[in-house]
């Protein structure tokens, strides 16, 4: 099956457009996740200040969302 140059250009244009739409969706999700992480980082910072140096506060992605975890800091003592 032969295709013309015009048909090939049209196919390429459609494929690039589809890819661009997927990329924009991915970038939008990344922007939302970035804002969510910033919010959780700020909350973690406030918690860390309230708890002091006896605890470690971390932000991590778990089950599709950012969560704050708190652990007792290791000081070398038991």
pTM for the whole thing? 0.63
pLDDT at 17 over 90: no
In a domain? residue 66: yes
Count of structural domains within the chain: 1
List C-alpha distances in Å: 16 to 7, 21, 27. Answer: 14, 9, 16
> For 23-49, what is the mean pLDDT?
92
Instruction: Residue 20: give the domain boundaries.
Output: 5-72
In a domain? residue 77: no
The residues with which 12 forms a beta bridge, in sequence order, are none
In a domain? residue 78: no
Q: What's the pLDDT at 78?
A: 60
The residues with which 55 forms a beta bridge, in sequence order, are 72
| pLDDT interval class at 35 (50, 70, 90) | very high
* pLDDT tens, position by position, 24-34: 888 888 999 99
Quick one: which H or E segment has residue 62? Answer: strand 55-62
């Amino acid at each position: 099956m032969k295709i013309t140059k015009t048909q090939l250009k049209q196919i390429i244009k459609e494929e690039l457009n589809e890819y661009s739409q997927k990329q924009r969706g991915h970038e939008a999700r990344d922007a939302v996740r970035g804002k969510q992480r910033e919010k959780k980082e700020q909350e973690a910072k406030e918690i860390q200040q309230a708890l002091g140096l006896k605890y470690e506060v971390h932000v991590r992605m778990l089950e599709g969302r950012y969560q704050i975890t708190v652990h007792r800091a290791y000081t070398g003592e038991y």
